[in-house]
Structure 1
Amino acid sequence: MQDYIFNDDFLLQGKAARRLYHDYAKDQPIIDYHCHLPPDEIASNKQFPNLTDIWLKGDHYKWRALRSLGVPEAFITGDASDEEKFMAWARMVPQTVRNPLFHWTHLELKNVFGINEYLSEKNAMKIYGQCNELLAKPSHTTKGLLTEFRVKYVGTTDEPWDSLEHHRRLAAENFSVRVSPSFRPDKVLFIGSDAFFTNIGLLEKASGIAIKDIASLLEALRNRVVFFHANGCRVSDHGLTQMPAKQQFSKALENELAGFLVNKKGSFSDPEAYMGYVLSELCKMYHEHEWVQQFHLGPIRNNNTRLNKKLGADSGFDSIGDAPQALQMSLFFDALDQVDQLAKTVIYNINPSFNEVFATMLGNFNDGSVKGKMQFGSGWWFLDQKDGMEKQLNALSNMGLLSTFIGMITDSRSFLSFPRHEYFRRILCNLIGDEMEKGLLPNDEKWMGDIVSRICYANAKEYFNL
């Protein structure tokens, strides 16, 4: 196809950008240190029955687009057949231009299935058949895809009560890709949620510790941190609207919590103090075990009450929030730093108007102990597209040091999302290559190429001690 834009030089608009990408970025292995891939599907080496199953199920990006285009829910999350759902998506792809879905869709078809044409209603059934044939082969199982994409490390996202049986199985098999758990105890932090006591029960069962007060709660969490560490975990993760402003927990609150845990009814008077204290104690545990802690900040979740009740959480009704971030980040990190218990930290921002806020805040807590100790995480969720990535890279470059950046993640539940690393690498190389040709950076390919290659792989390898 003469006008097909997804060629070898896609997004690379100059000679320097093309050299940087093809010679220094393209063939770097992948460290995907934060994602939501199901570890059971990796351990069982799942074979996907068709393209819809691996590509459309669970993809709220696509779901939002389909709803915007007036597609009935039956063809999105409903009871239409897999083939019908794929056809609904294929018909709408030509209308997604300038949304990152248009780029992601075609990079995934090209890199995973060798499809070098635009998807539309006209060629949908042919492409569906070609992809389904490949999905029946060993090269396109979960393990096959991870190997094909040269993935070296996958950090899954796991509840404190997870058994980690699938991670242990993969470790025992000596699978070439290191699949490690990441500790995400948020469900224990949200004391006002309807499922709080259910989650406390799960934590009790997993730890073998009866949770009756703040001390036993922290003991149970420590038990699970130790268990996760013994099973290869070196990373924690939290998804919050903002960092809690309070970290002190008074004797009166301790007594109230003890009664609340026993009675299992009513409401707790100061949820933020509870969250802040428990989270700060967890962060001290992370520091003790030399983990990396991650904080994803800023979204407003489950905005559409009617459809959230009908379809459940994580169905595509979340958006960018505008909650204040700076002061609460400062207070939280400073309290840990004052007692020298601030672990290596990655902060992800979802509101682009706060990019400079995040970049400058993190610089306050680099203390010379570790290169790039405080990291401004890659463009995340609504910002993991060209404009969002460029803004994050520019803010990091202007307010911090791009050369220490640990690069891209997929943050995805899909085994087809690894081309996002390629997408990021092309954008990075184009940004640096363009400034080389404009005389804003030295036109020294080896110098700039070394920085590019480290951002794509070596910095993360060093940061996570892989």
Structure 2
Amino acid sequence: MKAFLDENFLLQSKTAQDLYHQFAKNQPIIDYHNHLIPEQIANDSRFENISQVWLNGDHYKWRAMRTNGVNERYITGDASDKEKFIKWAETVPYTLRNPLYHWTHLELQRYFGITDLLSPKTAEKIYEETAAKLAEPGYSVRGLLKKMNVEVVCTTDDPIDALNFHEQFAKEGESFKMLPAFRPDKAMNADDTQALNAYIGQVEAVTDTTIGSYSAYLTALKSRHDFFASQGCTVSDHGLEQIYAEDYTDQEIENIFQKIRSNQPLNPLEILKFKSAMLIQFAEWDHEKGWVQQYHLGALRNNNARMLRVNGPDTGWDSIGDFSQARALSKFLNRLDNQDKLAKTIIYNLNPADNELIATMIGNFNDGSVKGKVQFGSAWWFLDQKDGMTKQINALSNMGLLSRLVGMLTDSRSFLSFPRHEYFRRLICDIFGQDVENGELPNDIEWIGKIVSDISYNNAKEYFNF
């Protein structure tokens, strides 16, 4: 019987162990998509206890606690940090076979050297031990990132963000980079014309302009795109149910924009046309600047209206959706490619039923101009666990080139989430190692080790050119 979470965790063969320890383990981390708070990095914030750095904002843990019967007061409510931690400790033993069980204990080991299993029996001890560690000099926000050998973090930022914390951080010459990513979802959300109209007012304020037409709106947003570029941004990101690719005319979009400015509701087709026009515009700007554009597709968000009213978005009420992806995605990418305006693109899929769809779609637009120009991004959100990662890796292997994948990302709000890169790398090594052991790949450790190193780090380094 193997020990839980030993040095060869997930590595089921000698070959896998050699690949991981020689070629993957010590590679730096390029985390090109996360939801970390720039202010905390710029100010090198500290946390008084593990709840503040571990439970705050982590809707993965919140969902598990709710399922375990924990009252909301101990999740997002007014209970003390320690009370919330105790409730999480009570939940952890019931997360067996959920990836949270692995992540929880990996994070306790990697950041704090704690090998005890978290449970009600160990909760008090672990809470005090981690609080003492967090008070040490090396456990500030930047210290936590350095412990994981992080080289780049790309935060997720709205076009109206001032990026003052990125600017502040860039002047310090730190050993790692913090760069912004342009996330303009609110700028195109025509589902709620009142909210969008209010957002346009914010764009007016930050650009010191009056926006009375669609062209003026584009000019203002383009100035923000340019500003992000001046602050080192080379990455954009969208979180969408699906790609929007309706046909439209300029006059149609202008008419729709005037309805938005008048706070008039739009019909479903008008909403699709407006979103389609905006997506194309953003993509053309990304190509113009040589950025990498990312599309996170397939989440069905805010399912629980009652809890959305109580807690707001991004608090654990989202799920996998079953949207139709193929035709619109093909049409969107084809339009850009046909005009030679398709930037480097990463497509993340949330519905595993669409894995092979995405894996084959990217091959339609990889034109030899860039290695892995269009990527099937690593398993995302509900899928960034052993089974989900394995399915994504196998789909990409069977229908594309896994060897050109740009690796893993955290997509997280927690500074303790970076062992997800380790988890991914261990799975990659185990999959390659098993194929070698089975005689399905040659026993060429140096070459396969190079591929493992590329997937872990080198591909991202070359692709993003940070």
Mapping of residues 322-361 of structure 1, within 5 Å = 322-361=322-361
Mapping of residues 71-90 of structure 1, within 5 Å = 71-90=70-89
Give the deviation of 1:259 after TM superposition.
Answer: 4.7
Q: 1:149 maps to what in 2?
A: 148
Give the deviation of 1:390 after TM superposition.
Answer: 0.4
Q: 1:123 maps to what in 2?
A: 122
Q: Does 1:114 align with 2:98?
A: no
State whether residues 197 and 260 of structure 2, in contact with CA within 8 Å, keep that contact through their aligned partners in structure 1.
no
State whether residues 350 and 382 of structure 1, in contact with CA within 8 Å, keep that contact through their aligned partners in structure 2.
yes
TM-score (norm: length of structure 2): 0.98
Aligned partner letter, 1:450: K
Moved more, 202-211 or 312-321: 202-211
State whether residues 247 and 273 of structure 2, in contact with CA within 8 Å, keep that contact through their aligned partners in structure 1.
yes
Mapping of residues 14-413 of structure 1, within 5 Å = 14-193=13-192, 194-261=194-261, 263-267=262-266, 270-413=270-413
1:212-235 deviation line (CA, Å, top 9, x unaligned): 111111111110111000000000
| Matches of 1:61 and 1:218, distance apart in 2 | 36
Aligned partner letter, 1:191: A
State whether residues 259 and 265 of structure 2, in contact with CA within 8 Å, keep that contact through their aligned partners in structure 1.
no
| Matches of 1:80 and 1:157, distance apart in 2 | 29
1:400-428 deviation line (CA, Å, top 9, x unaligned): 00110000000000000000000001111
State whether residues 249 and 274 of structure 1, in contact with CA within 8 Å, keep that contact through their aligned partners in structure 2.
no
For residue 397 of structure 1, give the secondary structure of its aligned residue in structure 2: helix
Give the deviation of 1:365 after TM superposition.
Answer: 0.2
State whether residues 406 and 463 of structure 2, in contact with CA within 8 Å, keep that contact through their aligned partners in structure 1.
yes
| Matches of 2:92 and 2:218, distance apart in 1 | 49
Q: Does 1:419 align with 2:443?
A: no
State whether residues 242 and 324 of structure 1, in contact with CA within 8 Å, keep that contact through their aligned partners in structure 2.
yes
| Matches of 1:407 and 1:215, distance apart in 2 | 38
State whether residues 108 and 114 of structure 2, in contact with CA within 8 Å, keep that contact through their aligned partners in structure 1.
yes
State whether residues 256 and 270 of structure 2, in contact with CA within 8 Å, keep that contact through their aligned partners in structure 1.
no
Cα 1:444/1:166, change in 2 over 3 Å: same
1:196-219 deviation line (CA, Å, top 9, x unaligned): 122111111222232211111111
Cα 1:74/1:275, change in 2 over 3 Å: same
Moved more, 266-275 or 316-325: 266-275
| Matches of 2:75 and 2:178, distance apart in 1 | 31
| Matches of 1:279 and 1:110, distance apart in 2 | 42
Give the deviation of 1:314 after TM superposition.
Answer: 0.9
State whether residues 161 and 203 of structure 1, in contact with CA within 8 Å, keep that contact through their aligned partners in structure 2.
yes
State whether residues 47 and 140 of structure 2, in contact with CA within 8 Å, keep that contact through their aligned partners in structure 1.
yes
Give the deviation of 1:267 after TM superposition.
Answer: 3.5
Aligned partner letter, 1:370: V
State whether residues 196 and 260 of structure 2, in contact with CA within 8 Å, keep that contact through their aligned partners in structure 1.
no
Give the deviation of 1:57 after TM superposition.
Answer: 0.9
1:119-167 deviation line (CA, Å, top 9, x unaligned): 1111110011110001111211111111111100001000001011111
| Matches of 1:177 and 1:247, distance apart in 2 | 43
Aligned partner letter, 2:161: D
Give the deviation of 1:264 after TM superposition.
Answer: 3.1
Moved more, 264-273 or 367-376: 264-273
1:154-205 deviation line (CA, Å, top 9, x unaligned): 0100000101111111110011111000000100111122421221111112
For residue 345 of structure 2, give the secondary structure of its aligned residue in structure 1: strand
Moved more, 143-152 or 290-299: 143-152
| Matches of 1:380 and 1:224, distance apart in 2 | 28
Aligned partner letter, 2:113: G
1:103-131 deviation line (CA, Å, top 9, x unaligned): 00000000000001211111110011110
State whether residues 239 and 296 of structure 2, in contact with CA within 8 Å, keep that contact through their aligned partners in structure 1.
yes
For residue 153 of structure 1, give the secondary structure of its aligned residue in structure 2: strand
For residue 195 of structure 1, give the secondary structure of its aligned residue in structure 2: helix
| Matches of 2:40 and 2:225, distance apart in 1 | 24
In structure 1, runs of 5+ residues without a counterpart are none
For residue 182 of structure 1, give the secondary structure of its aligned residue in structure 2: coil
Quick one: percent identity of the two aligned structures? Answer: 53
| Matches of 2:394 and 2:246, distance apart in 1 | 32
Cα 1:351/1:153, change in 2 over 3 Å: same
- Aligned-residue CA RMSD in angstroms? 1.2
Cα 1:456/1:252, change in 2 over 3 Å: closer
Give the deviation of 1:3 after TM superposition.
Answer: 7.0
How many residues end up aligned between the 2 structures? 464
In structure 2, runs of 5+ residues without a counterpart are none
State whether residues 14 and 430 of structure 1, in contact with CA within 8 Å, keep that contact through their aligned partners in structure 2.
yes
State whether residues 256 and 266 of structure 2, in contact with CA within 8 Å, keep that contact through their aligned partners in structure 1.
no
| Matches of 2:395 and 2:98, distance apart in 1 | 22
Give the deviation of 1:25 after TM superposition.
Answer: 0.3
1:48-101 deviation line (CA, Å, top 9, x unaligned): 011101001111001111111111111111111111110011011111000000
Give the deviation of 1:4 after TM superposition.
Answer: 4.5
For residue 346 of structure 2, give the secondary structure of its aligned residue in structure 1: strand
Give the deviation of 1:247 after TM superposition.
Answer: 4.3
